[in-house]
Structure 1
Amino acid sequence: MQHGALTPLGRQSRSVLLSIRSKRPPYQSHSVPSSASSRLRCLRLGVRYYEGVAAALAETLPVWPEEAQALSDEPANEEHVKASSSSGAPARTRTRHDHITEALKCTPHRHALPATGSATKLDLSHVNLRQRLIPGTSSTTIIEGPKDPQSSPDTRSNLSLLSLLAKYIRHVDGAPSQTPPLFSQPEEDYITSKGYSLEDIRVWAGFITAGPSYQAATRLLDRITSSHHRSPPLHLLLYFLRRPYLSASALRQLITAAHHLVEQHTSVDQARPLPENAVMILFVRLVRHAREVWPPVLDDIAALLIRALQAVQINHQKPSHDQRSRLIYIYNTAMHLLSLPTAAQPFKDAAIQEAAIVRVLRSMSEYQPPLLIDRQGYRAVVRVQIAQSKTSSEQEWAELQALSWPPWKQERTAVDADITAEDHGRSKASHTLQRMREAGYTPDTWAAVAQLYSGWDTDGTPTVQSRALMGSSMVPYRTEHSIWAARIATTRTGQEAWAAYLAYEDTGLGPDAQVNFAIVRKLSEEDKRGRPQDPSLTTKRDTSRRARLFPGDQREVAPLPPSVHLYTYTRTSVPSVDTLFRQLIDRGVYIDPYTLALAIENAASLQHGIWYLRVGSRGEDIKRALLLGDPMPQPSAMPSPLFSAFIRLLCRYPNVNLSKVMADQSELSKLSSIQPMLLQGHELNPLHPLVHAIELLSLFRPTSPVPWVNILRAMSSTPAGEDPAGMFTRAKCSMVALSFVNHILSLMRETHVDINEVQLLHICQAVENMAVACWRLTKYKVKSALEQEPHLGSFKLDTIRDAYQAIEHASDTSKYVKNLLTELVGGVDRHAALATDTASSQNFALPRLLYCPSPVLLHAHIRALGWLGDYNGLLDLTRSMVAHQHKLGEQRKRDRNAEDLMSLSIQALRVFLERRWLPVKSSGDSAEQASDAARQNDVLTRLETPAPVEIVEEVERLVNSVDDWPSWPDEEEMAKYCRNERFRELEKMYMA
């Protein structure tokens, strides 16, 4: 047997899993047919959207009648449906009306509608998945709207708080008062019998219909923590968590509210804690939003789940056999949800996810006997381990791998004999997969793919251990194509990847989207490696202390080995992406949106990218929307990766007019006839790629941060030009770019998209570009007395005036940047300490900061404030860094080259405080200029004058007070830092 005999732990796990049976009503005694069982397994593994899966998994738990009433207080209309085809027995179906969604659709509050999944995805949020395919069992159907939209809840069989709330929203629309009586006397009596009042209904309506998520979350938290009002029903919080997007600050409030609700139900004076299914649904929806906007809180959400489940077990004393089965199911599902990739920085957040999973595993081990880990739990651990960087032993193995293929270990010295495949070649994920096999779980395609990423092929040959993001279900890994896609992804060079692709073609498996995506990614990186890089997009840094990257740690491909004897044989040469794309199109292969987006994003030219879109996309409405800006009947039908890739394409080629790449004259005339966008009263050219990109962002308002990052990155690029004429162009472009940044941020706020670290990084770079360019132009104007030259045109005169005004209002720009950092980082909310008021809440404390800035962001922020001359801002920033030094230290452990970047940040503090790139007497020389330029000299003097000695000494004291930080930089380090081209440009102007 390939993986050995079944161990005692495996036999115990198998016996427990086989004993789990579906809960059935007492009047049913038939068993589950094998066909229904297989269909049930396919259904569980086939739902791709993880929240739908998780909600379904939560609802597989049995719901007692009183618990169901406590969860939603929602009546269900029971109807008889057609008999089951397998048994002939009539099945009983409960139809559950989604009253609040139905009411919101009749009001202007469309923003409050819950997220909608795919049209082909089953809505399993109120379905017992274990019973769904069992003939004769009861099921539940969601009805989003009644036949008569104006029907009143009292015309139905029963009343509920949610139906009455929906009636209030529909008829009153959240207004503070309503002259005629809205509710009948029986309805008012029902509300009173539940312990609430009409005022509570009004407050709930305002909470549901509120626009910004933070305001609504604050209203709910105020109501829950108020000692004068009864806490709202849990279903209100669950419904609000169905919103498609929540800000991090709103999520902080909602997690605190959830904690208070759990504590209220688990206190000693409560008769019954929250039901398990309610706790699980709450956990599912909190995790979804945390993965999107605030990953550091995943560990706290896991603690909240454990606290609620432990309270249930305290009331039930020792768990029964069925209760243990449910707990095993809940805990393993929780690990699965916690392990799914986060939205912004999935690889960096893997350490946070690992800590949350460890907390769950520790809780499982506290039961007697410990709860078992099922296949889903093992996969969660493997998923997180594959996303993490290599350990020291794994790095030693990677360093000894041969440059030929397969990469067997190649000993260089006698000491290398101690580095074995078992101790060093087997990664953490590989060992976990081995433990899963020992527990009795047969290897499947998912495990084979994970084994490839962990460093070993299915035939026992080594591969390149690679960091990867494993999917949320088995659907992408159920075929042989998935294994070949992983084989292509775990190569080092374009030649090795192409050899794997040719071997895949020889198998005759046929085209596959995963394989196409894997080879296009490798070939795209190979094309970029041989393509000259734009110097304006690169930054010269000292690479002497940079952390070494091993194969598999980065997306970029490695160059070919130094000797041809180490090459991998391929019957054809490695093609470019363009060549492969044309071959696939000629063969009639369907290009999926992800592969098409990858080709468009990395196109060698704007014309190539547009051609990829024309021939690769099968949706004419999608092509017209992207190329011409035509509105789509359903904007949600626009594939998110395709939209982000096209925005990235436009931003990569800002100097190529669209008229040069639009071959169709009708399309060109249509695009030219678009009403031009106005920026500060000036009409913009609709044929400019960046203007077109902003128009698309304004039209579709994406909630994904990727397209917003792309457009802000384009605004932070530095225009070329060292001569006086180029100096004017650079200053004008930098000021216009900053105006675009303000417009883009306003669009983001209207779309309720929070700013993230990468976006703020590019904003700081745009501010720095503006400050440097305007400083240079103002200095050049004062020295050359340009206002006396009659040949200057209106463009140069306007640019000089705008540059001076930009420098004059540097304090406003500095305040603008500091406010953005405060918005990103957040702070201690007035409700943040409420969770720790009681003794039972000692282990619950949310992070003080919404986001801990990385050293690269701190360095960019210091440079932006430094160029603007905001010395008090630098002092305040240093104080904040010292106050949160422990969080900054944890962040540096997750970032590569963090110590080097932190050293640069400390060096930048002293350089900008002391103005070390300027001559010593530069400020005095500036003050001696002619009287007609006195105002300009005052502005320059403010920028040129170093910080007061007291501020410099205080910053030095603060920096030296932290042991983990680099020491205060010396003269040599500052001289090395000032070798940057920007410092030299200004230094030349002062030395001339």
Structure 2
Amino acid sequence: MRPRGITWSKVAQWLWVLSGPTPNEMTERLLSKPFHRKEILKPTHRPPFILLEILRRDISKVKTLEMLISYTRDHVLNLVDTPRSSVPKDQAITSAVFKGTSESDDASSLRKNQRRTITKSEKFGIEENAFAILISRLLYQTRRIWPSAMVDIAHLIVRYMQSSSVTNVSPLNPPLFIRFCKMNNYFLRLLALPSSIEPMQSMAYNWEAQKLLLELAGQFDPPLRLDQASYRAVVQVLAATKKSRRESRSMTFRNRSWPPWRVEQDGMDAQRSQEEDFSRVISAIMRSRESGYTQDDQLSIFGGVDTDGTPTIHTRKLLKSRSLDSSTRARDNHDDEGRVWAARIEATRDVYEGWGAFSEFCKKGGRPTISMCLAMFQKINYESKRSALQLDLHVPPGDAREVYPVSDDNFSEFYKSRLQPPTIQNLYQEMRAAGIVPSGRCLRFLLQHARTVDEGLGYLLDSGIHERVVAYLANGGESQIPPDVVAQVSIPILADFISLICRFAPRLKKISFDTELEMAEDFRSPTKRNSSPARSETWTIREARAIQHSHPRDPLTHAAFLLKSWRPKFRPAWYALLKCLARKDIVMVRNLVTDSSRTCDNHELAWRVTRAVLEDFHSCDLELDPEGFRLVCQTFAKYAEAAFNESQRHREGLIETSQIIKAECAKLTNGGVEVPSKVNTRLRYIVEGAHLHAYVRAMGLIGDHAAITSLLEWMVRNHEELDAIASLAANGQRMLRQTIVAIKAFCDISEHAVATAQPLVEQVESWGGWPGEEEVEYYLNRGHDQVQGAGAEPDDDEKDD
């Protein structure tokens, strides 16, 4: 017996919507496609469970998610439009955290005004539990593909809670107050979870969304209360958010010895209290303690204060929420001390300080944990990187992974030997001798930084993965992945392994005026490469794809084989191969580089294989994000630069295939025009200067000034959002300026292009005006290679899709 009001026609419509092959198709059917070509599914015939069912699937396209958020706004919550919100800038912690449950007169009057503006005609077609599930699934999707939309979801939460209290007499009655407190605390915890795309930079959106709920808590009467988990969620977001200028500056005026006490620069510093140097993390922890809660010592150490009150180095750190239930607490108690000491190791400036903390724990009779070993692995690795590249660091300590040079000028050789940490290999042997098995983030870090493929395979064997599974990863096999392989190898581990083998792809190494091949001799497969001459003049996409699908013979072939076999929906796995193909010195076929006249053919083949990989990528229902777009642009630009003085065939092929780049750019920029949307967020992606520069360079090398001008017009329309995004990265403004310099460099050969581009650039004051000749000359000589520099955001070992 069917419920009253439910007809078989409606049920058939619901089945038609939910029978779509993909979430994108389901969304199109739900919103606009006709049913039986006659009847459109009316809003009143769309119950919330259909939307919830669609959101259970992994949505792959940002446009689809934008449509679902708008649908939730218009048809589920029946909300009116609100003004656009810009990308958040760094702000002080909201008064809701500092003042606890207190409320100012301004907040009280604001609440009354808001209540007067909401009409009683706003009725929601969804009850509170279903609404909580809906928001939870929307936030899950935004964390996967569209982090900036978290702010829009927070606006929906605010409007729902404000409207739900309209018919209630102020102050809130006890049952409603309890329900609102639970709801607010639940959403605050969800908003602390990091996104899969640029999780460190995306934390600015997490913080902006959390601030909306914190401000909302103070607008009710009585103000909503935050529980312990909510305070922790706020502290976690602040710990991962970019440090303010004051916080970064305070780290530069620290004693070089340990503990790093503040060095007073003048009389004003002497009069300033220690509390004035506290970070926002410590300030939030203090507010939590004032409310009667305790917070993890680990968060306090990353915030800049140790458990005994001595200072540490305020370090940006991405920490995921952990459940506070009794079962989880009992299970994690044995590792709590290890996490605290791992934080002490990380919250240091150089490898000596980190090793000192590690050694101190061992001297006290402690047994190192895997989290402590990972922290020490990171310190040793980045010290090796700094010393090998002789990096001149310009970032305050704690702002990036790079470590500072050790301060040992006054140390004797004997004392230096005592402070000297072991190598990664020796530390790993000690870890294994202690019975610690590599797993999780530690295993991933070891794979990412293994010296050889064999070493990486050894890490996998030590982690407990079966020998047959490791053999499949090393040498391939049948086209269908065996079930036991799928069960034992997670997709993030697969991505790291693909990145590892791609590091050993053959490359060109220039020595004086001679050129030789630096081949990957340690690769597992003993089969030699196919050395038959390549017919570059007749290469097709099908032939390029054959390289991917043949039996693995070299790192590139094997990486493509694994991707084709697994078909992962984890973009970093695909980007590992795209990054390798984008390298200027990568060797596709030996014969194409031993003959200097055919170097361009080598780059052409890399571009053709990239196109083939991109087809497989799209066949998995995936979209390129800005980082993947940058890699594809770099491969295209590499080929375009080599083909500058080559045959007409190369130039025609470049112009023809440039449509691929333009199509991907249109996806990132809404087709280059501002599309009216009921979602507040204007940009669908976190587009940085490095991504824009890669596209400008690719189009500039083929002389497509119209494409550059179109992008510049889009940049001018969205300059506020682009500037705010640039402020989230240490080198963001520099890379944005480099994009402007590249536009001038490539447009200079056309008077019309300059006449169009220059007025556009000069409209935006923050871009520094039209570049001068010196900037262009520097860029053409060397600047275009400096896409990434020291002082980048910290590497994220914890992101997981």
Counterparts of 1:239-258 in structure 2, within 5 Å, are 239-258=53-72
Mean Cα deviation higher: 854-863 or 629-638: 629-638
- Does structure 1 residue 234 correspond to structure 2 residue 48? yes
- Does structure 1 residue 472 correspond to structure 2 residue 321? yes
The one-letter amino acid of 1:808's match is E
Cα–Cα, structure 1 residues 981 and 429, in superposed 2: closer, same or farther, change >3 Å? closer
Q: 2:570 aligns with which of 690, 704, 709?
A: 704
The one-letter amino acid of 2:764's match is V
| Other-structure match for 2:424 | 577
| Other-structure match for 1:593 | 440
Per-residue CA deviation, residues 601-659 of structure 1 (Å, 9 max, x unaligned), is: 11223343233333344433541332133523152542233222211111211127677
| Other-structure match for 2:85 | none
**Displacement after TM superposition at 1:238 (Å):** 0.8
Q: 1:437 aligns with which of 274, 286, 289?
A: 289
| Other-structure match for 1:41 | none
CA distance in 1, matches of 2:33, 2:215: 34
Q: 1:210 aligns with which of 6, 16, 20?
A: 20
Q: 1:349 aligns with which of 185, 193, 202?
A: 202
Cα–Cα, structure 1 residues 507 and 701, in superposed 2: closer, same or farther, change >3 Å? farther
Counterparts of 1:340-489 in structure 2, within 5 Å, are 340-424=193-277, 426-441=278-293, 443-444=294-295, 447-474=296-323, 478=333, 479-489=336-346
- Does structure 1 residue 498 correspond to structure 2 residue 355? yes
- Does structure 1 residue 905 correspond to structure 2 residue 739? yes
Per-residue CA deviation, residues 488-520 of structure 1 (Å, 9 max, x unaligned), is: 111121222122122222344434222222222
Task: Report if the CA contact (8 A) 2:545-2:609 is conserved.
Answer: no
Cα–Cα, structure 1 residues 522 and 639, in superposed 2: closer, same or farther, change >3 Å? farther
Cα–Cα, structure 1 residues 270 and 612, in superposed 2: closer, same or farther, change >3 Å? closer
The one-letter amino acid of 1:239's match is E
The one-letter amino acid of 2:132's match is M
Task: Report if the CA contact (8 A) 1:577-1:599 is conserved.
Answer: no
CA distance in 2, matches of 1:231, 1:316: 30
Give the unaligned 5+ runs of structure 1.
1-158, 160-189, 779-802, 836-844, 915-945, 984-992
**Displacement after TM superposition at 1:294 (Å):** 0.6
Cα–Cα, structure 1 residues 739 and 884, in superposed 2: closer, same or farther, change >3 Å? same
Cα–Cα, structure 1 residues 877 and 636, in superposed 2: closer, same or farther, change >3 Å? farther
Mean Cα deviation higher: 561-570 or 460-469: 561-570
Q: 2:693 aligns with which of 830, 846, 859?
A: 859
Task: Report if the CA contact (8 A) 1:299-1:353 is conserved.
Answer: yes
CA distance in 1, matches of 2:680, 2:202: 17
| Other-structure match for 1:792 | none
Q: Which has the higher contact order (CA 8 A, sep 6+)?
A: 2
**Displacement after TM superposition at 1:413 (Å):** 4.6
| Other-structure match for 1:518 | 375
**Displacement after TM superposition at 1:423 (Å):** 0.6
The one-letter amino acid of 1:615's match is D
**Displacement after TM superposition at 1:310 (Å):** 2.7
Cα–Cα, structure 1 residues 828 and 973, in superposed 2: closer, same or farther, change >3 Å? closer
**Displacement after TM superposition at 1:332 (Å):** 1.2
Cα–Cα, structure 1 residues 617 and 596, in superposed 2: closer, same or farther, change >3 Å? farther
| Other-structure match for 1:979 | 781
**Displacement after TM superposition at 1:566 (Å):** 11
| Other-structure match for 1:648 | 499
**Displacement after TM superposition at 1:337 (Å):** 0.7
Q: 1:560 aligns with which of 406, 413, 417?
A: 406
CA distance in 1, matches of 2:500, 2:178: 51
Counterparts of 1:272-311 in structure 2, within 5 Å, are 273-311=125-163
Task: Report if the CA contact (8 A) 1:651-1:714 is conserved.
Answer: yes
Mean Cα deviation higher: 273-282 or 475-484: 475-484
CA distance in 2, matches of 1:762, 1:306: 39
| Other-structure match for 1:757 | 626
Give the unaligned 5+ runs of structure 2.
80-117, 507-517, 531-541, 786-801
| Other-structure match for 1:80 | none
Task: Report if the CA contact (8 A) 2:65-2:141 is conserved.
Answer: yes
Task: Report if the CA contact (8 A) 2:62-2:684 is conserved.
Answer: yes
Cα–Cα, structure 1 residues 512 and 819, in superposed 2: closer, same or farther, change >3 Å? same
**Displacement after TM superposition at 1:197 (Å):** 4.3
Task: Report if the CA contact (8 A) 2:316-2:398 is conserved.
Answer: yes
Q: Secondary structure at the match of 1:280?
A: helix
Q: 1:632 aligns with which of 482, 495, 501?
A: 482
CA distance in 2, matches of 1:299, 1:755: 22
What is the TM-score normalised by the length of structure 1?
0.66
CA distance in 1, matches of 2:253, 2:308: 21
| Other-structure match for 1:890 | 724
| Other-structure match for 1:963 | 765
| Other-structure match for 2:90 | none
Cα–Cα, structure 1 residues 569 and 829, in superposed 2: closer, same or farther, change >3 Å? same
Task: Report if the CA contact (8 A) 1:659-1:668 is conserved.
Answer: no
CA distance in 1, matches of 2:119, 2:472: 56
- Does structure 1 residue 741 correspond to structure 2 residue 610? yes
The one-letter amino acid of 2:396's match is F
- Does structure 1 residue 953 correspond to structure 2 residue 764? no
- Does structure 1 residue 807 correspond to structure 2 residue 651? yes
- Does structure 1 residue 549 correspond to structure 2 residue 395? yes
Cα–Cα, structure 1 residues 566 and 659, in superposed 2: closer, same or farther, change >3 Å? closer
| Other-structure match for 1:773 | 642
CA distance in 2, matches of 1:332, 1:341: 17
Task: Report if the CA contact (8 A) 2:600-2:643 is conserved.
Answer: yes
Q: Secondary structure at the match of 2:396?
A: coil
CA distance in 2, matches of 1:272, 1:851: 30
CA distance in 2, matches of 1:910, 1:550: 33
Query: Once superposed, what is the RMSD of the aligned Cα atoms?
Result: 3.2
Per-residue CA deviation, residues 50-88 of structure 1 (Å, 9 max, x unaligned), is: xxxxxxxxxxxxxxxxxxxxxxxxxxxxxxxxxxxxxxx
Higher-Rg member (1/2): 1
Q: Secondary structure at the match of 1:591?
A: coil
CA distance in 1, matches of 2:189, 2:8: 41
The one-letter amino acid of 2:57's match is R
| Other-structure match for 2:92 | none
Cα–Cα, structure 1 residues 246 and 637, in superposed 2: closer, same or farther, change >3 Å? farther
Mean Cα deviation higher: 805-814 or 289-298: 805-814
Task: Report if the CA contact (8 A) 1:906-1:966 is conserved.
Answer: no
**Displacement after TM superposition at 1:418 (Å):** 4.3
Aligned length: 702
CA distance in 2, matches of 1:566, 1:406: 21
What is the TM-score normalised by the length of structure 2?
0.81
CA distance in 2, matches of 1:641, 1:313: 44
| Other-structure match for 1:19 | none
Cα–Cα, structure 1 residues 332 and 829, in superposed 2: closer, same or farther, change >3 Å? farther
- Does structure 1 residue 849 correspond to structure 2 residue 683? yes
Task: Report if the CA contact (8 A) 1:596-1:616 is conserved.
Answer: yes
CA distance in 2, matches of 1:355, 1:271: 27
Per-residue CA deviation, residues 540-572 of structure 1 (Å, 9 max, x unaligned), is: xxx9xxx94111111122221252449997846
Task: Report if the CA contact (8 A) 1:453-1:486 is conserved.
Answer: yes
Per-residue CA deviation, residues 681-703 of structure 1 (Å, 9 max, x unaligned), is: 56857221111111111222222
